[in-house]
Amino acid sequence: MNRIIFFLLFFLSLPTTFAANFQIHVRGQNGKAIINEQKKTIFIPVNYYGKSGVYPLDKAPVDIFKVEENISHTLPSTLDLRNWSSFKIGEEEWKIKGGYQLPGSDFQTWHTEKVKGFATFGHVTCDAMVGSEKQRIWDNGNPAYSTSGSKSWPTYRTQLADGSYAAELTTRSILGIIASGNLFTGRIVRDMSLKQLLGFTDKDGKALIRWGVPFTGRPTGFQVKFKYEGKGDSCTLMSTLENHQDGKRRYVAAAWYSGKTDYEKNKEGVISISEPDKNGLRTLKVKFIYGKQHANADPFPDGVVQGNADEPITHINVVFASSRKGDYFKGVKGAKLIVKDFKLLYE
């Protein structure tokens, strides 16, 4: 009898545990919560857009949180999903975080845009623009290129073997000027004159672009499907998480791949590069390096400084280019980069 009483008292003294069969829903959530019972973590996927602009990750109301009867919890009614935050269910400590994906980042949706051309005495139709024109998340250099009157786009939509679409970026030459195929988050200058365009051919073409879109998440990395045939050139697939407060650009983190091929795994931050799939595309996974300059990255552009790992993120910049030095109008004609299914990782 004494032995039975001892084991009963020992069992009652153990911390309260439970299987992760609770329900949770946060306002703006756009998929099932990803629950890792072993690590005691919950990840909440949310829409990029809220009711009045980009979804406020720092003020996410909890609509539903149900646990087993008689088990207490300390989950707040409003969450800051930018970073992992701790709370308790019974005696167990859990962590919760959230994040979003950029609209149009699978590159299946494209739109047409009309741009004023200097060689056409009117407007040119730019029919190779990624995503929704209203959202203006993704852009490329075609609007600048189209002012020449050429429709041999450096960036355009291509259909793959399985019927899906991808962005094909090809380095071109027009009027003796190298134009890298590119795709990026932000907005390039529209309605340029010939004088404006030629004025940047011996300078840094990045000055033609307003870089990045609003973003407050803290992903651990990104993945993208890609294929590269460089003809001796080098490609770039990169993303920076930035702080634009006070009118400055501060790099909080960077994830970067540049190479002459699509299988160079010995680069800083590269997690993995898969074998080609049935479309001939490899899946690249790279991690964000927070708080220090990336070893494989280009030198900082004018006006950019290194930020701290723990400071707020206000914008994200993503760039794909068939020629690494295309922003300086340098590259190898015919270098080709195909990209598809860009996805931010929050693991």
Whether the Cβ atoms of residue 179 and residue 173 lie closer than 8 Å to each other:
yes
Q: Pick from 57, 80, 99: which residue ends a domain?
A: 99
Q: Are strands 336-345 and 282-287 parallel, antiparallel or unpaired?
A: unpaired
Together in a domain, 333 and 247: yes
d(CA 325, CA 232): 13
Together in a domain, 64 and 126: no
Query: Is 271 within the bounds of a domain?
Result: yes
Together in a domain, 60 and 120: no
d(CA 180, CA 311): 33
Mean pLDDT, consecutive 10-residue segments, the chain of 347 residues?
44 42 91 94 96 92 89 95 95 96 96 70 77 89 76 91 97 87 89 54 61 96 98 98 93 98 96 98 98 93 94 97 92 97 95
Query: Is 121 within the bounds of a domain?
Result: yes
d(CA 308, CA 145): 37
| Helix (H), strand (E) at residue 243 | strand 235-243
Which pLDDT score is estimated for 6?
42
Together in a domain, 68 and 148: no
For residue 289, give its domain range.
Answer: 110-345
Together in a domain, 308 and 265: yes
Give the pLDDT confidence of 305-328 residue by residue, as tens digits: 999 999 999 999 999 999 999 888
Query: Using CB atoms within 10 A of its CB, is residue 178 exposed (0-12), middle (13-18) or buried (19+)?
Result: buried
Whether the Cβ atoms of residue 75 and residue 63 lie closer than 8 Å to each other:
no
Query: Is 40 within the bounds of a domain?
Result: yes
Query: Is 105 within the bounds of a domain?
Result: no
Together in a domain, 214 and 80: no
Together in a domain, 91 and 212: no
User: Tokens 């400590």 identify what position?
Assistant: 93
Together in a domain, 134 and 239: yes
Which pLDDT score is estimated for 18?
47
Query: Is 104 within the bounds of a domain?
Result: no
Which pLDDT score is estimated for 196?
53
- The domain that holds 325 is classified in CATH as 2.60.120.890
**Residues 6 or more apart whose Cβ sits within 8 Å of residue 111:** 129, 131, 132, 133
Together in a domain, 79 and 125: no
Going by C-alpha positions, the residue among 344, 340, 342, 345 that lies closest to residue 280 is 340
Domain count across the chain: 2
Q: Which two tokens stand for residue 184?
A: 């990026």
d(CA 146, CA 115): 7
Query: Is 303 within the bounds of a domain?
Result: yes
Query: Is 59 within the bounds of a domain?
Result: yes
Give the pLDDT confidence of 142-168 residue by residue, as tens digits: 887 776 667 788 999 999 999 999 999
Going by C-alpha positions, the residue among 299, 283, 297 that lies closest to residue 255 is 297
Together in a domain, 94 and 189: no
Going by C-alpha positions, the residue among 91, 75, 90 that lies closest to residue 33 is 75
Together in a domain, 238 and 266: yes
Which pLDDT score is estimated for 341?
98
Q: How many residues does the chain have?
A: 347
Q: Pick from 40, 73, 99: which residue ends a domain?
A: 99
Q: Pick from 45, 76, 99: which residue ends a domain?
A: 99
Together in a domain, 147 and 260: yes
Query: Is 255 within the bounds of a domain?
Result: yes
